[in-house]
Amino acid sequence: MRSRFLPRLLAFAVGYALLWGFTATVGVSSVRRAALSDPFFGRARAGCLTTVPSSPPTPSVCYAAVFSPVPFVVRAQYGLSGVDVGWGVRQTSLWLLGIRVPLHTTKWVI
């Protein structure tokens, strides 16, 4: 009698990888778009002249770094860094096919 463990493990691994890939492409994209439309970007004193994707902040630049550590979970860190001004948000969300459920949020202002 053949063992059914290996085919089940392989099916689980393929399913997990597909869900993770879907979250990493569609979920990350939608969460990043929502982060960049944050109303504070438009009201900041330093202005938001450029956006640098997935990079550390530089003077007078808005930044957004978003990634998926596991399927259906998206982490985002975004904000504005400038001379004498800075703010940011770090948020972990559950992403359910377009619906974001915040799990943990940290905000800071300089």
**Does 88 or 15 have the greater pLDDT score?**
15
| Ranges of each domain in the chain | 5-109
20-33: pLDDT as tens digits: 999 999 988 888 87
pTM of the model: 0.70
- Residue 46 scores a pLDDT above 50: no
Cα–Cα dist 28/44, whole Å: 25
What's the pLDDT at 42? 52
> Taking the C-alpha atoms of 31, 32, 37 and 40 in order, what is their torsion angle to the nearest 10 degrees?
100
Mean pLDDT lowest among 7-11, 91-95, 104-108: 104-108
Q: Nearest to residue 50, comparing CAs of 94, 12, 81, 9?
A: 81
